[in-house]
Amino acid sequence: MRNPIEILSVYQLRQRWKAGLLLLALVIAAATLWYTESLAANLRLREAREVARWAMAVEHMMQASQEVDLTLASKIMEENESIPLLLLDDAGRVISSRNVIWGESSPADTAKWKTLMASYAPPIELQPEPGLYQYIYQYESTTLAQLRTYPRVLLGVMGLFLLLSYYGFHRAHRAEEDQVWTGMARETAHQLGTPLSALYGWVTVLEDEASTQPNLLPLIAEVRKDLERLQTVADRFSKIGSDQAGEVADLAPLIVHSVAYLQKRLPKGIQLSHSIAPSLPSVCYQPVLLGWVLENLIRNAVDALPDQIGRIEVRALRLGDQVVIDVEDNGKGMTAALRRSVFRPGFTTKKRGWGLGLSLARRIAVQGHKGQLEVFQSTPGKGTTFRLALPMP
């Protein structure tokens, strides 16, 4: 079995792989866009030269006499089948247009296209006659627009596909993990069942034999309490992942019992207290599993207290349509990075921890009780508050 250091290293390695793959994807996307923009820039220069030739052809046709052959100029003008062009006089009226999509060449449409084309490239000035000026406005061709758009659409579709694929694989992986956790927990409960039954039998025998030695009865009673505790642990493992419905009941007895049980077993420097709001509504829960969650949060708070000295308070109150249980300590607190990772399986900051307690606690709260478990607030050096929220029936 791996030790906590190895589990933590695997977790960090997985995070680095994700970051590396994301960085590689961004580099590929950036390189694709850069190469596309380079092609688009070259195509734009080529179109600018074609427009310049078109302008020269127009000016040549306007200035040529009747004897001049205009076949070449006409061919140059007709070969433009993709670049939108407008030829306007100095008053802004349309003289001719090429590849411009509009219904009617109204003044509004002309002004719209003129503004759009002027923002794309400066107009080319023509002077057919002295004192007479005309202007050629141009815009990007359909080919150039498609060249700019296609890579972005392709990257978007690929990104969506990868996102959906990752989500599907992630869900499948989580489902597989859940089955493994459930199987391990139930197998553990099964393995504990046989020795527990035998130990209960031996305790009963000892109680019968100790009838003549009353001084042994308190010791045997403590052994029975520990056996009952082990039985509770086995019951918790057996119910993980089960679809067994909870019971609608008051949370106060569960909180009081859990706090009273741990108060006797905590170091003397730790002050554990609880407060329950009056008329606390009942909720639907499984006492065995929810007691485990509460005890896990309290023990986690104990581990956060430096030198095993500090204060832990358990509060239960109603917030809207939920009943919340806050477990607050004045321990070391957590950074933002630690808060994001504290519920991940295998993540731990303890030298001898396995990083499973909070992960299982959240699983019980979310999947078993349709509730929430989160780090409500935490400040390094001041303490942490975990919040367990359960919906009201």
- pLDDT surpasses 60 at 66: yes
> What pLDDT shows up at residue 197?
84
pLDDT digits (tens, 9 = 90+) for 340-375: 888 877 667 766 656 677 888 888 888 888 899 999
> What pLDDT shows up at residue 253?
93
Mean of the per-residue pLDDT values of the chain = 84
Handedness of CA 183, 189, 194, 195 (dihedral sign): positive
Of 12-26, 71-85, 230-244, the range with the lowest mean pLDDT is 230-244
Question: What does R_g of the chain's alpha carbons equal in angstroms?
Answer: 38
Please state the rounded mean pLDDT for residues 4-31. 74
> What pLDDT shows up at residue 297?
93
> What pLDDT shows up at residue 5?
41
User: Do 302 and 330 contact (CB within 8 A), yes or no?
Assistant: no
Q: Beta strand pairing status for 310-319 and 322-329?
A: antiparallel
CA separation, residue 208 to residues 88, 199, 357 (Å): 114, 14, 39
User: Do 372 and 389 contact (CB within 8 A), yes or no?
Assistant: yes
> What pLDDT shows up at residue 318?
94
List beta partners, residue 390: 323
> What pLDDT shows up at residue 105?
66
User: Do 7 and 354 contact (CB within 8 A), yes or no?
Assistant: yes
pLDDT digits (tens, 9 = 90+) for 68-89: 777 777 887 777 888 888 888 8
- pLDDT surpasses 60 at 1: no
> What pLDDT shows up at residue 101?
80
User: Do 302 and 308 contact (CB within 8 A), yes or no?
Assistant: yes
pLDDT digits (tens, 9 = 90+) for 158-195: 889 988 988 888 888 777 777 776 777 777 777 887 78
Provide the residue type at 256 as one letter: V
pLDDT digits (tens, 9 = 90+) for 25-63: 889 989 988 998 898 889 888 888 888 888 888 877 777
CA distance 321 to 389: 10
CA separation, residue 186 to residues 227, 233, 290, 343, 388 (Å): 19, 11, 17, 22, 25
- Listed in sequence order, the DSSP H helices in the chain are 4-63, 71-78, 107-120, 142-209, 217-239, 252-263, 287-304, 336-341, 357-363
User: Do 355 and 4 contact (CB within 8 A), yes or no?
Assistant: yes
pLDDT digits (tens, 9 = 90+) for 109-131: 888 888 888 899 899 888 877 88
User: Do 160 and 167 contact (CB within 8 A), yes or no?
Assistant: no
> What pLDDT shows up at residue 15?
75
What's the first-to-final CA gap in the chain, in angstroms? 42
Protein fold of 243-391: Heat Shock Protein 90 (3.30.565)
Question: Could you tell me the residue ranges of all domains in the chain?
Answer: 4-140, 145-237, 243-391
> What pLDDT shows up at residue 242?
62
- pLDDT surpasses 60 at 326: yes
Of 204-208, 268-272, 278-282, the range with the lowest mean pLDDT is 204-208
Of 12-26, 212-226, 348-362, 377-391, the range with the lowest mean pLDDT is 348-362
Q: Which of 87-91, 197-201, 314-318 has the highest mean pLDDT?
A: 314-318
C-alpha neighbours within 13 Å on the C-beta side of residue 77: 19
223 burial level (CB within 10 Å; 0-12, 13-18, 19+): middle
Please state the rounded mean pLDDT for residues 273-287. 91
Which residues are CB-neighbours of 125 under 8 A, at least 6 positions away? 133, 134, 135
DSSP code string of 204-217: HHHHHHGGG-GGGH
The packing angle between helices 287-304 and 252-263, to 10°, is 40
CA distance 205 to 199: 10
What is the three-class DSSP state of 140?
coil
CATH of the domain spanning 4-140 = 3.30.450
- State phi, psi for 67 to the nearest 5 degrees: -80, -15
> What pLDDT shows up at residue 7?
44
CA distance 350 to 5: 9
CA distance 136 to 8: 67
> What pLDDT shows up at residue 6?
45
> What pLDDT shows up at residue 3?
46
pLDDT band at 103 (very low <50, low <70, confident <90, very high): low
pLDDT band at 65 (very low <50, low <70, confident <90, very high): low
With b meaning 16 or more CB within 10 Å and e meaning fewer, what string describes 253-265?
Answer: ebbeebbeebeee
Please state the rounded mean pLDDT for residues 143-157. 88
- pLDDT surpasses 70 at 268: yes
